[in-house]
Amino acid sequence: MEKPTPTHCQRHPDAVAGWSCDNCQALLCPDCVATRRSLSTEYLSCGLCQGRAMPRVVHRSRTPLAQRLRKAWRYPFNQTGMAVLIGLSFLLTVCRWAAEATFLLLKFLPMVIGLGIFWGAFFHIVRTTARGEHEMDTPDYSEVFSDCVVPAMRGLVGTSLLWVPGLLYLRYVRRWDVSKPMDDLLSKPAFYVTGGLPQLDWSQVVWDPVLWLIVLAGALYLPMVLLLSAAGKSVWTMLNPLAVLGAARRLGRDFLLTLGALAVLAVALVVGQLVATGLLRLELPLFSRWAAELVTCIAPFLMAHVLGLLLYSRGDELGYGAPSDYLEPVLGATRPRVEAPALRVAPAAPAEPAPEASASLTETLSALTQAVGAQDSGKALALYAGLSEPRFLKQVEPAHHLFVGQAAVAQGQYPLAVKALETAADVAPDGPEASRALVLLARVYGERLKEPERAASIYRYVVHRYPNTDASRFASRHLSPTS
């Protein structure tokens, strides 16, 4: 991912270059790039040659994970985060109360719903964080099966790694005899009404170091299992030790760092449980349970956020999302500092081209006219691409811009198509070509460049600017009812 090229601006050696010019290949800092507005679209242009400036990108993992983790604790502590926590913990309170108050056979339902709410939120946090969101938002539970039941099953399968191996060890290696407490439990008629747990004598086994090693191994293994699960891997991949250890090895130091952060949060989890116990002792109606549920949620949700940060930074190595999603602008959200006037009032007084340049310009323009007349799209595109400067482009007929735009679309040369179509509408906004060029421009953005928002904004502009035309009718059919 590292680029071998220098990373500083050509004109300002102290400034990091956040863009490069498509045309003259110059590396540009925020002072050397201008934001231009052409009709409804905005683009960046090179301060040296007015070519199209493209952001330079680096892999997200160039920002050290430690730096991201340091700010992670803030995640739930803002207005929206607290509102979501309060809402979720209320739902969990109701589920827990329903599970306690109902008969054995009915407990199943509120327990599954509660687990679904909790694990649905957990995986939702991992995935939204991995998308780059910094604030907690409300999970979507509209699909009962995929938003609730599946997360609950995945959470249960994952966390069973913490206790199932230990229990198997106690039962089959230590030969811990639990038949008497189990018989006691099953012989009590009350069990079949309200349910309950066997009265086990833990003192026999609780100091067994092998048991604790097994639990510790499960605890180290669990984060990667949950990460793979959030990344949409199958349950078999989650449980396949080769897949889990392979993924952990690929992430290397970052995974160890994540385990460290999770260990700190595990302490927070215990503290949360202690606070919750204290709150329950207060026995304030509803409030005690609700507040207890809320404080126990904070640490696990922060754990989900930490896992999400690892996925955000290195998820491509787990096959999560498209590789291009992991590239971010070198300068982050920094914007160019120069705001250029719109193209049609731009270059106020350009220097007259030198006589020889002017002669060759006239030749190029007449060659372009001939090529367009002969419908020779290859030649027209080559000549047009040579006309890099806006002042030259302004001398080309609108219909020729449109022809070049259509030919460039047909040949898949989208940047050239965008330039030609924008210019077609720009040089003669009231001419017959403008609305056709804009509709085609919107289609290029929407269908080829996969930028639906930009396409929609152009369609809206066409509807507004050219009412009662074929173009506006076409545009309004392509706008969704909400836009």
The site for Zn ion (CB under 5 A) is made up of 9, 11-12, 21, 23-24, 26, 29, 31-32, 46, 48-49, 51
Determine the Cα–Cα distance for residues 60 and 63; give it in Å rounded to an integer: 6
The minimum distance between CB 382 and Zn ion, in angstroms, equals 20
Report helix, strand or coil for 8: strand
User: Six-digit token pair at 215?
Assistant: 């639990």
The minimum distance between CB 29 and Zn ion, in angstroms, equals 3
Rg from Cα positions in the chain: 31
Report helix, strand or coil for 184: helix
Report helix, strand or coil for 469: coil
User: Which lies closer to Zn ion via its Cβ, residue 10 or residue 38?
Assistant: 10
Kindly report the backbone phi and psi dihedral angles of residue 2, in degrees, each rounded to the nearest multiple of 5, phi listed first: -65, 140
The minimum distance between CB 17 and Zn ion, in angstroms, equals 7
Residue among 395, 398, 394, 370 at smallest CA distance from 382: 370
The minimum distance between CB 346 and Zn ion, in angstroms, equals 15
User: Which lies closer to Zn ion via its Cβ, residue 31 or residue 325?
Assistant: 31
Residue among 431, 429, 440, 426 at smallest CA distance from 478: 440
The minimum distance between CB 54 and Zn ion, in angstroms, equals 10
Longest pairwise C-alpha distance within the chain = 107
The minimum distance between CB 391 and Zn ion, in angstroms, equals 15
User: Which lies closer to Zn ion via its Cβ, residue 26 or residue 463?
Assistant: 26
The minimum distance between CB 393 and Zn ion, in angstroms, equals 15
User: Which lies closer to Zn ion via its Cβ, residue 26 or residue 224?
Assistant: 26
User: Which lies closer to Zn ion via its Cβ, residue 51 or residue 308?
Assistant: 51
User: Which lies closer to Zn ion via its Cβ, residue 52 or residue 400?
Assistant: 52
Question: E-assigned strands of 287-413?
Answer: 327-329, 338-339
User: Which lies closer to Zn ion via its Cβ, residue 51 or residue 405?
Assistant: 51
State the DSSP code for 374.
T
The minimum distance between CB 337 and Zn ion, in angstroms, equals 10
User: Which lies closer to Zn ion via its Cβ, residue 49 or residue 479?
Assistant: 49
Number of C-alpha atoms within 13 angstroms, CB side, residue 176?
19
User: Which lies closer to Zn ion via its Cβ, residue 26 or residue 276?
Assistant: 26
DSSP calls for 423-466: HHHHH-TTSHHHHHHHHHHHHIIIIIS--HHHHHHHHHHHHHHS
Mention every residue, 6+ apart, whose C-beta is less than 8 A from residue 63: 313
Determine the Cα–Cα distance for residues 360 and 402; give it in Å rounded to an integer: 23
Determine the Cα–Cα distance for residues 475 and 471; give it in Å rounded to an integer: 6
The minimum distance between CB 8 and Zn ion, in angstroms, equals 9
User: Which lies closer to Zn ion via its Cβ, residue 51 or residue 223?
Assistant: 51
Kindly report the backbone phi and psi dihedral angles of residue 27, in degrees, each rounded to the nearest multiple of 5, phi listed first: -90, 135
User: Six-digit token pair at 266?
Assistant: 């595990």
From residue 457, give the alpha-carbon distance in Å to each of 41, 218, 412: 8, 51, 22
The minimum distance between CB 328 and Zn ion, in angstroms, equals 21
The minimum distance between CB 368 and Zn ion, in angstroms, equals 22
Give me the sign of the Cα torsion angle 7, 11, 12, 15.
Answer: negative
User: Which lies closer to Zn ion via its Cβ, residue 29 or residue 261?
Assistant: 29
Is residue 73 within 8 Å of residue 267, measured between CB atoms?
no
Determine the Cα–Cα distance for residues 403 and 381; give it in Å rounded to an integer: 9
Determine the Cα–Cα distance for residues 127 and 121; give it in Å rounded to an integer: 10
Is residue 459 within 8 Å of residue 442, measured between CB atoms?
yes
